[in-house]
Amino acid sequence: GENVEQHPSTLSVQEGDSAVIKCTYSDSASNYFPWYKQELGKRPQLIIDIRSNVGEKKDQRIAVTLNKTAKHFSLHITETQPEDSAVYFCAASIPEYGNKLVFGAGTILRVKS
């Protein structure tokens, strides 16, 4: 079945610096890759997603890149702010199983001011 690996598990950056989180997946049939941000005690919030027919997508300070050949995708946050501090999860969908999501283990991002 699908396996999603996420790195690093923790990431500490200085305010204003960039943060990059990387994920790999195993199922070549996966075609949808969302990123969720989860603050302590709150629900996961979708921040950006990408489908397999594009290689890059950007939304203000957040961007996601996808390399289908290598089966990896990355989240890039530029000009980080303290409010970006949270746990970030990547996921890959399984089309043949109702698009259920298989999640990475998460990255704790801490932005120091």
Q: Are strands 86-94 and 107-112 parallel, antiparallel or unpaired?
A: antiparallel
CA–CA gap between residue 78 and residue 44 (Å, rounded): 21
Residue 97 near another protein by CB under 8 A: yes
In this chain, which of 20, 49, 63, 76 binds another protein, going by CB under 8 A? 49
Q: Give the nearest distance from C-beta 75 to another protein in angstroms.
A: 15
In this chain, which of 63, 78, 103, 110 binds another protein, going by CB under 8 A? 103
- Element housing 24 (H / E): strand 19-25
- What is the per-residue burial (b if ≥16 Cβ within 10 Å, else e) of 26-40? ebeebbebbbbbeee
Residue 61 near another protein by CB under 8 A: no
Q: Which residues bind another protein (CB under 8 A)?
A: 6, 32, 34, 36, 42-46, 49, 51, 89, 91, 93, 97-106
